[in-house]
Homo-oligomer: A and B are copies of this chain.
């Protein structure tokens, strides 16, 4: 997926947020902002992929400010808050009567978890919204390939589950558990280093994903979404050896659609901005469970 004009505003907005989180040095904040403008002057072209630009932006901010993880506090708080909601959300899944219904509910909860993001212009989220959003998750489901994903997962020997944000990853545990119940070996892949509010191995361990997944690996890189050319060989071996990839969030939608996929991928996400919604031909603020075969 390529950038739209309004991506420029969001890319800068998230950059500015990050700069002020990363350093209190006002002169440095201006230097980094100017460097961001310079980066976008060159790179903000109609052929650019938003996730690639976001990756370049965040690397520049981390390098210039010397702050290795500007979202550290936000990620920690997201994990903690999501864990508070986890028991009641887990019950919603376990109350379902059949494997199909449990899988469906776990998908919906995992998609609602993807709403947990704080610095996208025009997207607001309060933790108190979670239960209401789960209740209406089915109504908000604009692309519903859950049955196809279920059927593919049932046949899969090995599955790779690519996470998106901290906080959200708590709800991903429910879906990883359902995938395992279908008989698959499930590897969870998190980011190889801090990038925006994406979950890293620290987040995964903090929320107990390592005790649920059969294996926990990282992409080997701090890139948004999936950029195979930057991933570690270990990750690429795992990626190439599975029968199904489940990928969460807009960063994966932006990047997977740039690749020639050689196996089934399922995208689970909330359309939190108009460009991603436009690309998927749905409205903003919708839930997506889309299989790409």
Q: What is the interface of chain A, defined by CB distance below 8 A to chain B?
A: 5-6, 8-9, 12-13, 16, 19-20, 26-27, 29-30, 33-34, 37-38, 40-41, 44-46, 121
Contact = CB atoms under 8 A, between A and B. Distances in A.
A32 to B, nearest CB: 9
Contacts of A29: 5
Nearest to A122: B121
A8 B46 CA distance: 22
A37 B44 contact: yes
A16 B27 contact: no
A34 B41 contact: yes
Copies of this chain, how many?
2
Contact of A12 (B8, B19, B38): B8
A27 B44 CA distance: 12
B5 A30 contact: yes
Nearest to A11: B12
Contacts of A20: 5-6
The listed residue with most B CB atoms (<10 A of its CB), out of A8, A20, A44, is: A8
A46 B30 contact: yes
A149 to B, nearest CB: 34
A33 B44 contact: yes
B34 A37 contact: no
